[in-house]
Amino acid sequence: MYRSHNLVRPLERVTASYISPRPRPARKVPVTQSADQLAAWVALSLDEPEALKNLQDAAAELRDIPRLAAVLPRVAGTAMALMGAEFGNIQFVFPEDDSLILVTQSGFGHEFLDHFAVVHDNRSVCGRAAWQGAQTVAADVRDDPVFTPHQKIFRAAGVRSVQSTPLVDHAGQLIGMISTHMSQPGRPSERDLRVMELYGQLAGEAIARHLAGHGTDGRPVALYDGTPLDRHRALRENAGATRGATHWAYRVDEPYGSGGCRSFGVHPNQWRGRITTDSPDQDAGYAASLVARELIADWDIRGVRGVGLVHVHVWRGWEGSARNAAFTLEFQPDIDGVRLPAADPE
């Protein structure tokens, strides 16, 4: 398998556009698609808990990588491994015109890279997936007349089949596309496509945090050394300060394995999100208590079978690592109900 690498200039161009003060197009994955993804998380947790663990571990690794330039080759390599693919690439949505910009690739020559450097329409597998906001598969690119303009490029690159999966952030907004390619015709199994779709969600969220200019510690990070992406963060925080509001990110984890943790719930985003408070007295501990109350209400409805200790982590602004949380609340249900021990700020 080829090693994945970034296309430096296109990557710098498109990431710079994400810190522009101009609003970007609000293209989102359809609500029905989001519901299908939730159902897929539940099914995977029941049918293949080991596969679910592997996806969660892969997402945790992405959160710990401090630079976007190191994240993208890892995402491409993992996607190719999941699909058993020989080639792969990542594209970002360019906010100014909604085109797809090729930023990371593995296994392709200059002819392919030049041809698909910018995709403006839906007459390609990746373009069709972006247009529909859904995973798209071409079992044999030679069978679909829509791909006729690309046949010479596909033949030269040795590509016969392609799958493209959306990269989406936590809010369901499309930020890019991860595509894998094979030299033989054929459609991946539904199980493999389901896993790839879920990985696209996890990877998309990790990438989105970097595009917003935040690393694992919640502070601005650089795409490459000496290129800080902190303008977008400053704009958002200054806007919040002007209104007197404070934005908090939270995540609920549970102990897992030997000294490790994993996201609590049937899928990684069930207990993960954002809270806005309006008063200076409503600090990180207050935000954590709001999440804890929602947890307790959920346990009252669903029961507490199999539930142990949980950690509610809260960050000011954007999610970071557990050790850099502004506040962490640990508690667990007991036999007679649910009790909240004293909070333990870090």
Among the three residues 162, 190, 211, which one is the final residue of a domain in this structure?
211
**Is residue 261, in this structure, part of any structural domain at all?**
yes
Q: Are residues 200 and 319 in the same domain?
A: no
**Is residue 234, in this structure, part of any structural domain at all?**
no
Q: Are residues 193 and 333 in the same domain?
A: no
Q: Are residues 194 and 298 in the same domain?
A: no
| pLDDT digits 0-9 by tens, 124-167 | 999 999 988 899 999 999 999 999 999 999 999 999 999 999 99
- pTM for the complete prediction? 0.62
**Is residue 68, in this structure, part of any structural domain at all?**
yes
Give the pLDDT of residue 269.
Answer: 65
Q: At what angle do helices 31-47 and 190-211 cross, to 10 degrees?
A: 120
**Is residue 222, in this structure, part of any structural domain at all?**
no
Q: Are residues 167 and 268 in the same domain?
A: no
Token digits of residue 181: 């390619």
Q: Are residues 42 and 156 in the same domain?
A: yes
Among the three residues 211, 227, 262, which one is the final residue of a domain in this structure?
211
Number of helical H runs and strand E runs in the chain: 10, 13
Give the pLDDT of residue 327.
Answer: 94
**Is residue 233, in this structure, part of any structural domain at all?**
no
What stretch of H or E contains 332?
strand 327-334
| pLDDT digits 0-9 by tens, 263-320 | 887 666 678 877 888 788 889 999 998 888 888 877 776 677 778 889 999 998 777 7
Cα atoms found within 13 Å of the Cα of residue 285, Cβ hemisphere only: 7
Q: Are residues 53 and 155 in the same domain?
A: yes
**Is residue 66, in this structure, part of any structural domain at all?**
yes
Q: Are residues 136 and 260 in the same domain?
A: no
Q: Are residues 179 and 318 in the same domain?
A: no
Give the pLDDT of residue 313.
Answer: 94
Q: Are residues 260 and 143 in the same domain?
A: no
Residues of the chain falling short of pLDDT 70: 1-2, 19-49, 51, 213-244, 266-269, 301-302, 334-346
Residue type, position 301, single letter: I
Looking at residue 30, which CATH number applies to its domain?
Answer: 3.30.450.40
Give the pLDDT of residue 338.
Answer: 46
Q: Which residues of 83-117 are buried (b: 16+ CB within 10 A; e: fewer)?
A: bebbbbbbbbbbbeeebbbbbbbbbbeeebbebbe
Measured distance CA(66)–CA(271) in Å, rounded: 23
Domain count for the chain, please give it: 2
Q: Are residues 184 and 44 in the same domain?
A: yes
φ/ψ region of 257 (left if φ > 0, alpha if ψ in -120 to 50, else beta) reads: left
Give the pLDDT of residue 259.
Answer: 74
Q: Are residues 62 and 146 in the same domain?
A: yes
Q: Are residues 191 and 256 in the same domain?
A: no
Give the pLDDT of residue 15.
Answer: 85
Measured distance CA(184)–CA(318) in Å, rounded: 43
3-state SS, one letter per residue, for 295-330: HHHHHHHHCCCCCCCEEEEEEECCCCCHHHCCEEEE
**Is residue 229, in this structure, part of any structural domain at all?**
no
* Residue ranges making up the domain that contains 293: 244-339
Residues in the chain: 346
Among the three residues 163, 195, 211, which one is the final residue of a domain in this structure?
211
